[in-house]
Chains A and B, each alone.
Chain A
Amino acid sequence: EIVLTQSPGSLYVSPGERATLSCRASQSITNSYLAWYQQRPDRAPRLLIYDASTRAAGIPDRFSGSGSGTDFTLTISRLEPEDFAVYYCQQYGGLYSYTFGQGTKLEIK
């Protein structure tokens, strides 16, 4: 099973600034099958990015994903108040195997 490690655990950034979140896999992820989700307090997670860099429908272009192999990044430029939340990465390892990272909490500085 592929293990995803997200860093940092908490990230403090000011509104209007850029945030960079990392997701590292224990082994290479096939075809960059890596997704990112946002979870606001007391809400279900919401899909932001899939296939490492494709934004989901309705997601603002200040959210961008990059990476391949074992290292992936979610970048949020020009942070808005509603962007302060927990972010999870998720990979598909084939044969109906899905794993999530432990999350990065993005907090207001």
Chain B
Amino acid sequence: DGGITQSPKYLFRKEGQNVTLSCEQNLNHDAMYWYRQDPGQGLRLIYYSQIVNDFQKGDIAEGYSVSREKKESFPLTVTSAQKNPTAFYLCASRAGTSGYNEQFFGPGTRLTVL
């Protein structure tokens, strides 16, 4: 089965800790994205990557970091610099670079700061 997996499904973090959210896709998609969703809100773009070893900041990149060492993997680290990290995090991927393909989403990781 082709798809996007995210782990863990639920994550609890103590203040001051860094945590890493996993995103893996076996769709052979070129582009990958990280979004944050707060309760009752829309999606905000954190980081995105069009190709391996390259990524760009989205609208709310402060306090987050990413890497793209493999085409199928795009992990997101939530650092201690992110002051309000409690949210639902969604990873997405898209085929090609023509700009005419939809994004497909993973199941999400719900992060809670204790």
Are A and B associated in one complex? no
